[in-house]
Amino acid sequence: MFSISIFARASIGLGLAACTACAGIHPKSDDASAPQAFYTVTAEIALARHQPRVAALQYAAAAASQTDAALLERAAQVAADTLQPSLAAKIAARWIEVDPKSVDAQRAAARAALALHKIDQAAAHYRTVLSNSPLGTDAEFAVLETYLIGSDNIFGARQLADQLASSFPSSAPALRVQGYTSLRADDPAAAVRSFTAALTLPMPSGNGSDEGTRREMLQALARARIMAGDAEPPLAQALEKVEREDMPANRLDYALLLMTAQRDSAAIQQLDILARNPDYAAVALRWSGLIEFQGGHLDAATTRFAQLLRLDKYLDDACYYLGLIADRHGDPEHALRLYAQVQSGDNALPALLRASTILQTHGAATVADDLLDRLIEEEPQRAPEILASRARSYADTGDLPRAVAMLEQGVMEYPDSVDLRYAVASVYEEQGRVPDALRELTDLANARPEDPAALNALGYTLADHSRDLARARDLIERAYAVAPKNAAILDSLGWVLFRQGHSVEAETYLRAAYADDRGGDIAAHLGEVLWQLGKPADADRIWSEAAAADADNRLLKATRQRFHALPQAAPAARRPLPVLN
């Protein structure tokens, strides 16, 4: 029997903020002569009432004519914290006018520009920061590295790092930042070049901490070489290091490189050896559990995550993945109990979002909505993600109008949110409003013409609806030039080639995408191409393999059903095209 009261009873750490502020706050006063205090006080009240857009607008109004650097700093911080980069950029510009030598003002302007994918502007501001920071250039690069590695704008962070590395060509920290951001942006060949160059230069501090930095870079270089297709040398070097010096850290490094090379059985073998060491048992079980889960081996994954629970280690990860497994096994009540125990870490929000979806689809919509309302209060900087997930749960239960209303309201609150704009386009598409979806994606691509994610989203949607295929391919190839190893972009490139009748060439790109991401959408596309090429057995194998790890994928299910109702197609004729790099 499914119980809807679990999350009402469970302790999930979501406090409901008390607020005694009066209602009726508006973004601006109708009185043009309103004192600065009016704006700042009402802004702070809006923050207490969880009205981020109002708070940022009020502070922006206060900042427009102010010369108080402290107020401008507070206004810029509020705009950034409330995810309003357009307002943050205007406030930072005013702050720079008032205090041209302020490094903090330049940094605020740089971060706002990055959020808006205005990379040239971000680079100009960051050059000023790096050249004038009281911390020194190398220390400021370390701060920047942390910020960019955590940035949601993965491709923008890489483009920014490229510009800064060009401006500081003899800086090892600059090259290191460039390497890490290139790796995140799915350009491992570029990362290899950056890490290799950085390792030839002296470390900045000249003390013992440099050894750890160098070791991390060597491991990142090895990963990048494997991802770029040069797997054997780094794997051989890592194995030789284990054989020469059988330390747990060396064996873990080797296991992680085997994972990068997708040699899962060999990686698990090394992790099992590592698990015999009591000090490393938990980390070994965690990684081997992830490998088993991602491979669709749910029983083996359950065994390993259950061992983590017995060890009282990595409890949040263990509960989250055991919850996913229970979910896939059709046991929502057990899944909810497990999700409720995920208290912190990277999986805390996904656990609660998944829990809300279960509640929504099992007749507990009010409980789900209350959970998400409180979650936004607890995690305001992830509000767009939460709103998009909430709309997705409405769409999945067939309530597309409510999903659209939720997203359109979200865009009004967070007009610069790319994720919400993508979600709007997706739901429009599901409603059959393809022109509206394409308009939304075209606006995004026009606003972010150097963003491969925006180019790919528009190109894929055009291709999927067989519209303007030449333009679709051009957009996707521009994205591919920036991120040649990105699975989503490889999938799009394969799909547009297939739509253009180049099935043989499409297979190459789709296989490359599937090798990196065995999700249902890519599997559906690859299987369809294989079926059309006269390889139904290969198609079925891919579909079955993907279904083990992504059983609920709607496109995968629909594609399998569609093709099993059709006769086998004859192999397509080959039309020569450039091969995958």
- 380-394 tens-digit pLDDT: 889 999 999 889 888
Write out the H or E segment, with its range, that includes residue 415. Answer: none
Amino acid at 296: G
Does residue 11 register a pLDDT over 90?
Answer: no
Whether residue 487 is contained in a domain is answered as yes
Q: What is the mean pLDDT of residues 329-354?
A: 91
Choose the final residue of a domain: 296, 313, 330.
313
Q: What percent of the chain has pLDDT over 90?
A: 73
Does residue 416 register a pLDDT over 60?
Answer: yes
Does residue 26 register a pLDDT over 70?
Answer: no
Choose the final residue of a domain: 284, 313, 342.
313
Question: What pLDDT score was predicted for residue 547?
Answer: 86
User: How far apart (Å, rounded) are the C-alpha atoms in residues 525 and 547?
Assistant: 13
* Domain total in the chain: 2
Between the CA of residue 406 and those of 352, 369, 412, 416, what are the distances in Å?
19, 12, 10, 16
How many CA within 13 A on the CB side of residue 280?
19
Does residue 252 register a pLDDT over 70?
Answer: yes
Identify the CA nearest to 267 among candidates 424, 140, 275.
275
Q: Nearest 5°: phi and psi at 377?
A: -65, -35
What DSSP designation does 451 have? -
List the domain range (segments joined by +) for residue 264: 233-313
Question: What pLDDT score was predicted for residue 205?
Answer: 59
Does residue 182 register a pLDDT over 60?
Answer: yes
What DSSP designation does 6 have? H
Whether residue 453 is contained in a domain is answered as yes
User: How far apart (Å, rounded) are the C-alpha atoms in residues 457 and 422?
Assistant: 8
For residue 34, what pLDDT band results from cuts at 50, 70 and 90? low
Question: What pLDDT score was predicted for residue 206?
Answer: 53
Identify the CA nearest to 428 among candidates 403, 447, 446, 410.
403
Does residue 19 register a pLDDT over 70?
Answer: no
Choose the final residue of a domain: 313, 343, 363.
313
Whether residue 578 is contained in a domain is answered as yes
- In this structure, the chain runs to a length of 581
CB atoms closer than 10 angstroms to residue 158? 27
Whether residue 142 is contained in a domain is answered as no
CB atoms closer than 10 angstroms to residue 216? 12
User: How far apart (Å, rounded) are the C-alpha atoms in residues 174 and 167?
Assistant: 9
Question: What pLDDT score was predicted for residue 349?
Answer: 87
The string of pLDDT tens digits covering residues 366-375 is 888 888 888 8
Question: What pLDDT score was predicted for residue 209?
Answer: 62
CB atoms closer than 10 angstroms to residue 37? 9
Q: What is the mean pLDDT of residues 72-87?
A: 96
Question: Residue 68 region, left (φ>0) first, then alpha (ψ -120 to 50), else beta?
Answer: beta
CB atoms closer than 10 angstroms to residue 217? 21
Whether residue 279 is contained in a domain is answered as yes
Q: What is the CA radius of gyration of the chain?
A: 25
Q: What is the CATH number of the domain that holds 304?
A: 1.25.40
For residue 566, what pLDDT band results from cuts at 50, 70 and 90? low
Does residue 51 register a pLDDT over 80?
Answer: yes
The string of pLDDT tens digits covering residues 328-337 is 888 999 999 9
Distance of CA 21 to the CA centre of its chain: 36
Question: What pLDDT score was predicted for residue 204?
Answer: 65
Q: What is the mean pLDDT of residues 45-56?
A: 93
Whether residue 164 is contained in a domain is answered as no
Whether residue 102 is contained in a domain is answered as no
User: How far apart (Å, rounded) are the C-alpha atoms in residues 379 and 381?
Assistant: 6
Q: What is the mean pLDDT of residues 264-283?
A: 96
The string of pLDDT tens digits covering residues 437-465 is 999 999 999 999 999 999 999 999 999 99
Q: Does residue 545 or residue 526 have the better pLDDT?
A: 526
How many CA within 13 A on the CB side of residue 519?
11
For residue 538, what pLDDT band results from cuts at 50, 70 and 90? very high
Q: What is the CATH number of the domain that holds 454?
A: 1.25.40.10
User: How far apart (Å, rounded) are the C-alpha atoms in residues 495 and 152?
Assistant: 26
Whether residue 289 is contained in a domain is answered as yes
